[in-house]
Structure 1
């Protein structure tokens, strides 16, 4: 069943909150279906049918909670859009990739995508991925009275959704922020990939899934740009540990 067909006659129960979603995809049949389906789920939806238009809309002042970004588009493809977006925006991005194309998935994650979903996809899985990403945003924005976490030169503020290393701000995507938050809450202890997958990505750990490795790799690079001292240790075959120092 195609992505478009899977969205037809959906009876998904609308969510109680409303977030804004930008869809950037040149498949007009699919975007029409997504537009209709996501609106029934309680989301505000804006559609751009090519990469350049999508980049202009995303950077034009309107605030979006999530961007659904297709990889394969003529002219400016999804990777170029994402690279330009990440110069100024940390809006969560869920990339729509060709099924089985590991290169697309890995490159998207390296460029700062928060998650990916292979086409064709089931509408319920799409809804679950969207909810998981938006839930992370909500969880990192509600504890305004919570004290900052400070571990090994890293300071994380849930209230401000900011991270700094040795006093210098480090710009992270929402997924990277959530992974670091989990590691800092468990500083000095092993956090398994299974825990990260379930608590941060809200999905079961899949064999050969490299998405967590890519997110942690990006996180390390951004921290190392400020301080090259090792902060996150890999426990081979198990997960990661934030070094206390």
Structure 2
């Protein structure tokens, strides 16, 4: 760590204290609220995930983190670490707006599937509005690839009255056709709108420009999530700084 930032223990103490108090999450939420007030959020939201490899230093966390003098909080039992084909890693489930900036991030184990986290990541979208009133939580449209094409996900979007553009896998399409009229109608799919899903891929690329996000060094999932929030804060600050006032 560069000397101008002080002793590493002091810096880590600040990271840990603000993570426990929810300060990093609050700062990111405030920046999104300012951006929405300035009209910088395009509410067509894309959902995707990316795997971040775990460094050997990320291993060795206590199996009972609540036995610590200062427990980290709601730390998952598996510390959001899982073994996939590429080794141990953590998955970031991301909901990004059309301007390539993250609206919500969920940290999970690397071997977990994408589809079960679909509703969870969308439910984390909360952008406060100026003055009284509830925060905005509903996108204008949700875009996702075929990994998220499930009946439960589509039913969830219908309950919330959110239009969706989700690709249908070939096997689901074949099973539906094989059932004939009992298979029902194919889900609506706008190929032209689906092209805009590239925004979340670009958002993943922006996040992975930060070394501590692209490779996980933190032993605890909550610390790694705080690191991701700091990267998200930097992305929103850059966008707000380059916007004419």
Q: Shorter-chain TM-score: what band?
A: under 0.3
Choose between structure 1 and 2: higher strand proportion: 1
Structure of greater Rg: 2
- Structure with the bigger RCO (C-alpha within 8 Å, sep 6+) is 2
Q: Comparing both structures, which one devotes a greater share of its residues to helix? A: 2
TM-score normalised by L of structure 2: 0.24
